[in-house]
Amino acid sequence: MSSQSSDHKPAGSIGPVVSAAHLASGAIPALSEVEFAVNMMVNAYHRWMVRCMAASGEEGLGPLDVLVLHSVNHRGRSKTLSDICLVLNIEDTHTVTYALKKLEKAGLISSGRKGKEKTAEITPSGEAACLEYRRLREALLVEPLKALGLDETELSRLAATLRLISGNYDQAARAAAAM
């Protein structure tokens, strides 16, 4: 067992990197570190998506538009609004509806019907944009990340952990809404 008390930091340590020290002072300070890291990651990821899609020739799309476009393109099958919202864990369906309209107006997706439900399908222009995005992603993001020597198994484990933790946030949100 370490002689260091959890209340004392080693000399030169700056402590947990958080955006809200009052939240990090609770039972699991590391959770505040994760929250801050996720916030930084989300903001960087959103900037990346928008700029990569613009470099792919599709300017004016926001992060949600790009996510929805890639979701519609996924596996080459038509998707319903509820499919997209479920996969992306989006509660506010109106935001996805707006993104679908914007993407259809841009000629990147087309709409159809599956029974009573409206569907979205990728168009050749939308597929070309997604393929160019993938090409740029490989060159500008994946190759430099490979140079860091990150362990892919560890990255997959991190992704699985974040998905599991997201379920706890969803449950806590339901509990908070019921208060």
Count CA within 13 A, CB hemisphere, residue 163: 9
117-122 and 109-114 beta bridge pairing: antiparallel
Is residue 48 within 8 A of residue 141, CB to CB? The reply is yes
Distance CA 109, CA 102 (A): 9
pLDDT digit string, tens, across residues 94-127: 999 999 999 999 999 999 998 899 999 999 999 9
Domains, the chain: 31-148 (1.10.10.10)
pTM of the model: 0.87
Low-confidence ranges of the chain (pLDDT < 70): 1-12, 15
